[in-house]
Amino acid sequence: MKLNINHALRLTAGTAVILISAADIALAQGQPKSGGVLTLVMAGTPNTYDCHAATSITDLTYLAPHYSTLLEFDAANYPAVKGNAAAEWSISDDQLTFTFKLHPNIKFHDGTALTAEDVKATYERLREPPEGVVSVRASSFENIDSIEAVDDTTVVFKMKVAQPGTEELFASPWNCIYSDEILAKDPKLPITEVMGSGPFVFDEHVQGSHWTGHKFDDYFRDGQPYLDGFKVITVDGPGAVNAIASGQAHANFRLLTPPQRDRIAEARGDKTVFQSTEGGTVNMITVNTQRKPFDDPRVRKALDLAIDRKGGQENLSKITSAGYIGSILRPSHEYALKAEELAELPGYGPDMEARRAEARKLLEEAGATNLKVKFVNRNIQDPYQIIGVFLVDQWRQVGFDVEMSQVDNASYFQALKDRNFDIAFDLNAPPSDDATEGLMKYISDSPANYTGFSDPEVDQLFEAQKVELDREKRGELVRELQKRIMGQSTFLHLFRGERIVAMPANLKGYTLTPSFYVGHDLSGLWFDE
């Protein structure tokens, strides 16, 4: 897959914006140098310290530098994978046996050795979380039949059936390797304590202020990390852009809107460069079908029909990261629905006035005119608040009376978990392009499915595509599954962003990918001066 990054000097509203390409990044890196502390900025604090329960880039920005994973995505060649804790690995011809050989010199930050037993304990926790532990992606690991630690550096996974995307599953950045010794004491310790084998040792977290880590001198990759440490400054609202524009922080690896990019470029000049690509995240509205009248498909469809996605994208793309009209898979994905297929689904037809008229009629039929709706949103400007205001106006035009509450991260995720909402701003941000990763959120028993809606047909199609090795047949199943999901109007897909990030011109080693979740361990980053 080629990244949509161009090498250019773009003039935007009189401002020179320096864009660099993946090829330029590779050619201009030079010899890595050691030293310096990278200061990042992030809106919000981690919802949990446990990678296995975490769901957002906010969590990963803080946590990823402290942990190793078995494999990882190769940012420079995304979505290809490469080894992390695994020095090498092999896959049997029948794709049922995955054998990993670990680097022999990996240590946890407490000085103990990382062995195959730690990998085994980690994946047992991921696939069958004990009481009191949340593994958000547990369903991803249901196909693991057995895990064997053959010796200190060899771990063997046996699968029940061959499945496409298994290799990518082992590269997920959420699969942080935990110490077997610590998990044996208390499997819930990672929820409140940070202790891994990654490039940086955890120092402190001051709630609402900052998070810091320092270089792990015994990191298993020779010479890495190059940085002496990192710091994440916690901010609210426009604070992230202000911090970068003023030079108080080096970067934010989430995203910027075009106006934010231009503001930073004007303030920093050639001290800052930018990378951009099609984003791998789709934002959406999750509808709580456990609350009346949202159990009525007519009410849900009215919500869906009322949203002018085309007009919204044209206007919002100028002030937010909403660069594309969204559906379940990225527009360039081989299994993505085509424009003519989307047009047949609620909310994507070309005649906006006809759609609004149909929405009003459905609400009248359902006895839900002038319906008061509680909308839970995050207190982060882009994309949440800006798109939220747009949506409230869209729904008002067909008769919904929407009250939008904008809350902090902790309150937001608690509301989702407790289903304490009528509708809520949500997103799907799979770490890889594999269809199973992209579709997992929508199955009935997914911990990330907050709708409360159960559809056996969705679950059956999901399981069928998961084991289909023929690409063409799998594509047919995946497209049918997307239509089924989107036709229920339980998830109202909105927009995908153009992902733009800013960083110092002298920061090397970072390559942007469509996935928000790749490249956050910071091990290969370095300052040229």
- Residue written as tokens 């949202």? 294
Express each pLDDT in 287-297 by its tens digit: 999 999 999 99
SS3 letters across 231-285 = EEEEECCCHHHHHHHHCCCCEECCCCCHHHHHHHHHHHHHHEEEEEEEEEEEEEE
Say if strands 372-378 and 401-407 run parallel, antiparallel, or are unpaired.
parallel
pLDDT, residue 433, reads 86
Domains of the chain (ranges, CATH numbers): 67-191 (3.90.76.10), 279-497 (3.10.105.10)
Would you call 163 helix, strand, or coil by DSSP? coil
pLDDT, residue 511, reads 96
Dig out the tokens for 374 from the structure. Answer: 């509680």
pLDDT, residue 491, reads 98
Distance separating alpha carbons of residues 455 and 360, to the nearest angstrom: 26
Express each pLDDT in 419-442 by its tens digit: 999 999 999 988 888 999 999 999
Adjacent-strand bridge partners of 527: 507
Task: Single out the residue of 515, 449, 514 nearest to residue 137, CA to CA.
Answer: 449
- Residue written as tokens 């919000």? 44
Low-confidence residues of the chain, pLDDT below 50? Answer: 1-15, 21-23, 26-27
pLDDT, residue 519, reads 93
Distance separating alpha carbons of residues 66 and 194, to the nearest angstrom: 7
The number of beta carbons lying within 10 Å of the beta carbon of residue 312 is: 20
The number of beta carbons lying within 10 Å of the beta carbon of residue 343 is: 11
**Global pTM value:** 0.78
Residues 6+ apart with CB under 8 A from 151: 116
The answer to whether 495 and 324 are in contact (CB under 8 A) is yes
Adjacent-strand bridge partners of 278: 498
pLDDT, residue 409, reads 86
pLDDT, residue 264, reads 96
